[in-house]
Amino acid sequence: MATPQELLTQAQNAYHQLMTGKLAKVVVDQNGERVEFNATNSGKLLSYIQSLQDQIAGTRSNRPMRPFF
């Protein structure tokens, strides 16, 4: 199984290739899951990259903030 750092590197490479028009449009992973990338869902890929970066850094930036009284 890939480490979070390896996944981050792969995702960053995929984003670069997507933005430069070199990425395969459909990818099937080792679990048989089909993933389709295109320019309209590049934001999801960026969110995935950010979540991996947060995981590596040990932070969770997408949790809702809750006031404490």
What are the 10-residue block averages of pLDDT along the chain, 69 residues in total? 87 87 72 74 86 84 62
- Report whether 11 contacts 45 (CB < 8 A): yes
What pLDDT was estimated at residue 41? 73
What pLDDT was estimated at residue 14? 85
68 located within any domain: no
Domain count, the chain: 1
3-state secondary structure of 28: strand
pTM above 0.85, yes or no: no
What pLDDT was estimated at residue 35? 75
Q: Which two tokens stand for residue 6?
A: 């390896």
28 located within any domain: no
Question: Which residues form the domain of 50?
Answer: 11-18+34-57
Positive or negative: CA dihedral 51, 53, 13, 27? negative
